[in-house]
Copies of this chain bind each other. A is one copy, B any other.
Amino acid sequence: MIKTTNSPHVHWQALPPTSMTLNGGMWSQRQAINRQISLRHGYNMLESAGNFHDLRLAAGLIEGTYRGPLFMDSDLYKWLEAVAWEIANNPDDELQRMMDETVELIEAAQTPEGYLNSFYQVAEPQRRWVNLKDGHELYCFGHLAHAAVAHHRVTGSDRLLNVAKRFADYIGSVFGPGKRPVTDGHPESEMALIELYRETGERRFLDLALFILEQRGQNLLGANQNAGYYQDRVPIKQSTIVEGHAVRALYLASGVTDAYIETGDQAWLNSVHAQWHDFTSGKMFITGGAGSRHDGESFGQAYELPNDRCYCETCAAIASVLWNWRMLLTTGEGRFADLIERTLYNGFLSGVSLDGRGFFYVNPLMSRGGYTRPEWHGCACCPPNVMRMLSSITHYFATADDSGLQIHQYAPGKLKSGKIGLRIETDFPWQGVVKFTVNESPAEAWALKLRVPAWSDFTTLRINGQAIDLPSVNQGYVTIDRTWNPGDSLEICFAISPRLTEAHPRIDPTRGSLTIERGPLVYCLEQIDSTANIADVEIDPAAPLQTEWQPDVMGGTMFVKVGGYAVDTSDWGDTLYRTSGKQEVKKQPVQLTAVPYQLWSNRDSGAMRVWIPKSK
């Protein structure tokens, strides 16, 4: 969650952590599981994987050997941030105790001069700041700072904030104008330093972030041929494409957008606009997923969007939400909220199992079987990243400005900002109706802005039960500007019928195929729902799409059913290639059953596909 109260270049203001509470629905369910299961599971995993152990070594509390990859601290910081956001709205003694003891441990591990990184303190003390390319030191600092800001913002305590400030000041004593130049191999510290600036008001943190951003693209990393992987090929202000490691690229873009928000330097904004265009016009999966290649966990070329071997790291989906949120705040354009919606409901939510104990690292759009969500990973960046996104999810739902409130994502609950209080009732995303009831309102008129998702091709509005003409949609939003009285209600209804979606014909593996979407949800076929082998089915584009609510499957799920065919591929025998046009295609009508992509691999680990070939 970011704080834009004093940010000069935002269109809308982000709301504080306690502004919105959920009451029922998909996000509330997921948040409850995150609270009840995942955060405690995470604590146990951090203990068994060695993350706590490593900090205890650094603190001198125990003796032993460093365990795990060199960025172990960052996983713990992300989990800590998740706990902080969680208890903002749901105080919990156990989580509070876990948080307190972790803060104490982190304090104890910090060196007198302010440095803090268990790997370099314990395993390689002589290599501090030696390997900026792959050492993840500033990256780990960044996650510490984010956790510290969350802890301070939620609890008011400055204990962890002081740790982060001391570390930041130590970094500033090493790197900066007239000192060492610096580019970090894994961006993250940029947005963290800017958030630290926002939280403390201390300008030197912003200056350090800007210094770090400005150094990039001068080959300080020495990555040479591989500079693109590290977003170090050109200076950021000359960068017009997303390239290299997807999470790094999108964390960096988030930091660059933050830099614009605080400085107004148009060159930062121009760069991220160009990158966003490059991403969404050529390198984005329909789930919002980012990263086309396992090789380098990286973006590919434009239109290189494989179904089976896409990477779509869960962290990249999260990074995209962070970036699009900053773009939305600074521009007020609904396309960024549309993409947040696409990403949260699909490429992000697929990253965690319904039971809160399993996490995907890679989120393919097609599986030939065998994908299950492990309970943790050797490189465990994703699980605690999911946790912090879920515990802060309401942050992305609404904003405010002097004219009133803006609603970006729809979920049932209560929203309070200044003198305005709203109750929101909806079964979104299963149903398209969202009802707002004014609980509190100032006497003067104010405007409620509602995002009309690009997918809703017919949207209706009622105020106090009376249908009114939909105001014109401007940059993705309708504005209802009036005097509101407590008890007033507004209902907006989006067209949420299932639809068939096609992909740009330059994308090889989806050509001639369709997928099903319904509202914000991308659907997929899972083998468990089909008697035909889903590797051999086609979808009939003329067949009606039917919905079927199944209350007992996966906590309540809307299935979509549609006619199609099972193609008999047995005539291919063992051959992969044959002269065309000599064989007749034999196929049988079948009914296809689709489930939301976010839910795949929750029942078994059978085959799955998002894109389905279209029958002629």
Interface string of A470-492 (1 = CB under 8 A from B): 00000000000000000000000
A541 to B515, CA, bound (A): 26
A306 to B510, CA, bound (A): 12
- Shortest C-beta distance, A607 to chain B (Å), equals 11
A509, CB-defined interface residue at 8 Å: yes
Contact of A280 with B613 in the complex, beta carbons under 8 Å: no
* A536 cross-chain contacts in B, Cβ below 8 A: 505-506
A180, CB-defined interface residue at 8 Å: no
Interface stretch among A154-162, A198-206, A235-243, A569-577? A569-577
Among B504, B512, B578, the residue within 8 A (CB) of A511 is B512
A61, CB-defined interface residue at 8 Å: no
A514, CB-defined interface residue at 8 Å: yes
Among B281, B303, B500, B577, the residue within 8 A (CB) of A503 is B577
- How many chain copies? 2
A427, CB-defined interface residue at 8 Å: no
* A535 cross-chain contacts in B, Cβ below 8 A: 303, 506
A293, CB-defined interface residue at 8 Å: yes
Known A-B contacts A294-B293, A306-B306; A504 and B576 likewise in contact (beta carbons under 8 Å): yes
A455 to B575, CA, bound (A): 13
A114, CB-defined interface residue at 8 Å: no
A616 to B616, CA, bound (A): 8
- Shortest C-beta distance, A518 to chain B (Å), equals 12
* A300 cross-chain contacts in B, Cβ below 8 A: 308-309
Contact of A580 with B514 in the complex, beta carbons under 8 Å: yes
Among B280, B284, B505, B581, the residue within 8 A (CB) of A541 is B581
* A286 cross-chain contacts in B, Cβ below 8 A: 576-577
Total count of chain A residues near the partner, CB < 8 A: 57
- Shortest C-beta distance, A606 to chain B (Å), equals 14
- Shortest C-beta distance, A590 to chain B (Å), equals 15
* A455 cross-chain contacts in B, Cβ below 8 A: 579
Interface string of A277-296 (1 = CB under 8 A from B): 10011101010000001110
A134 to B134, CA, bound (A): 23
A603, CB-defined interface residue at 8 Å: no
A588, CB-defined interface residue at 8 Å: no
Known A-B contacts A505-B567, A511-B613, A535-B506; A368 and B576 likewise in contact (beta carbons under 8 Å): no
* A567 cross-chain contacts in B, Cβ below 8 A: 505
* A282 cross-chain contacts in B, Cβ below 8 A: 576
Contact of B505 with A508 in the complex, beta carbons under 8 Å: no
A501, CB-defined interface residue at 8 Å: yes
Indicate the member of A502, A510, A575 with the most B CB atoms within 10 Å. A502
Contact of B511 with A511 in the complex, beta carbons under 8 Å: yes
A195, CB-defined interface residue at 8 Å: no
A337, CB-defined interface residue at 8 Å: no
- Shortest C-beta distance, A273 to chain B (Å), equals 12
- Shortest C-beta distance, A279 to chain B (Å), equals 10
A464, CB-defined interface residue at 8 Å: no
Interface string of A540-553 (1 = CB under 8 A from B): 01000000000000
Known A-B contacts A309-B304, A535-B506, A569-B505; A499 and B579 likewise in contact (beta carbons under 8 Å): yes
A277 to B502, CA, bound (A): 35
A576 to B506, CA, bound (A): 9
A426, CB-defined interface residue at 8 Å: no
Contact of A307 with B508 in the complex, beta carbons under 8 Å: yes
A507, CB-defined interface residue at 8 Å: yes
A-B complex: 5 closest residue pairs judged by Cβ atoms: A508-B509, A512-B512, A502-B580, A281-B574, A294-B295
A-B contact pairs, 11 of them (CB 8 A): A280-B574, A282-B576, A293-B295, A300-B309, A303-B368, A306-B309, A309-B309, A455-B579, A457-B579, A511-B513, A511-B613
